[in-house]
Amino acid sequence: MATPDDPSTDPPLPAAGDQRAPRPPGKRGGDAPRRKKKAAATGQPTGKATSKGTGKADKILRVEQRTKTVAGEGEMVMLPSLAAPAWEFVHPRCARRRREDIAEVEAMIEAGETEIAREELVWLLSECPDFLEAHLQLGLLALEEDDPKLARGHFGRAVELGFRALEAAGNPRPLPYALPGNRPFFESAKGLVHALLESGRKGMALDTAKQVAALDPVDPLGLLRLAAADGGGKHG
């Protein structure tokens, strides 16, 4: 399914077949990542799950049908009033195993270590290309640094991956934002709309908002309202 943004004009992100860059040591933990790699190579426990042995299917974003009670990303969500089943993204195993890494990245960003956080996120994507949360965090960093074009690349990739997973499942709906697994997709879509507006692409922003809002007509993040708002974008 075509995505609202053209990825060919945006900065490239690591692909599944790209050569993997070494994980950045960072300021937090010193050479700990290197020690963990060495331990993994010798068969010693590292304290974190690795991607070794995971198949291709374990690295692909997909969707599953939900009914009333679902186990989301780390929390339980009750949906007792559903008139019909809803759908939720199931994030790749390689992404689920790296929640702790995302928490570390958020701590780095809060501490002002944005460059180290960015390197960590790029490394995570080299290991797990469908990691929506990593794409989302990179997009937010780009927005903070006033680089809407770079932000479009990161947010756009997350949205593209989401629509690709939906297309593979036959384009089911609804896809409620209330389900935890869907939140990184919708938050990336909101970032994409904002970045498009900042780039002066209001028409594309509105098209994106309409496509995403159709998946959850409640539009809890106000994408349609954001895209239709006057001002805020650069023109030309």
**Higher confidence at residue 236 or residue 79?**
79
Q: What is the pTM of this model?
A: 0.73
Q: Which CATH fold would you assign to the domain 62-228?
A: 1.25.40
Max CA pair span of the chain: 59
Calculate mean pLDDT across residues 145-153: 96
Instruction: Return phi, psi of residue 66, to 5°.
Output: -120, 155
Residues 83-93: pLDDT tens digits? 668 999 999 99
Q: What are the domain boundaries of the chain?
A: 62-228
Quick one: pLDDT at residue 82?
53
Handedness of CA 120, 193, 207, 179 (dihedral sign): positive
| Burial 119-158, CB ≥16 within 10 A → b, else e | bbbbbbbbbbbbbbbbbbbbbbbbbeeebbebbbbbbbbb
- Please determine, for residue 17, whether its predicted confidence score (pLDDT) is greater than 60: no
- Please determine, for residue 39, whether its predicted confidence score (pLDDT) is greater than 50: no
Number of Cβ within 10 Å of residue 11's Cβ equals 15
Percent helix, strand, coil in the chain (nearest 5)?
50, 5, 45
Distance CA 197, CA 211 (A): 16
In the chain the first and final C-alpha atoms are separated, in Å, by 28
Identify the three-state secondary structure at position 86: strand
**Higher confidence at residue 85 or residue 80?**
85
Per mean pLDDT, which range of 35-49, 57-71, 155-169 is the poorest?
A: 35-49
Model confidence at 55, pLDDT cuts 50, 70, 90, reads low
Tokens at residue 179, please? 């389900």
Residues 102-139: pLDDT tens digits? 999 999 999 999 999 999 999 999 999 999 999 999 99
Which residues share a beta bridge with 69?
A: 78
Tokens at residue 140, please? 């937010």
Quick one: pLDDT at residue 230?
58
Tokens at residue 180, please? 């935890």
Quick one: pLDDT at residue 151?
97
- Taking alpha carbons only, the member of 198, 223, 195 closest to residue 211 is 223
Model confidence at 68, pLDDT cuts 50, 70, 90, reads low
Model confidence at 193, pLDDT cuts 50, 70, 90, reads very high
Query: Which residues fall within 8 angstroms of residue 141, CB to CB, at 6 or more apart?
Result: 109, 114, 117, 118, 121
Q: Are 72 and 60 in contact (CB under 8 A)?
A: no
Identity of the amino acid at 184? P
Tokens at residue 45, please? 């426990």
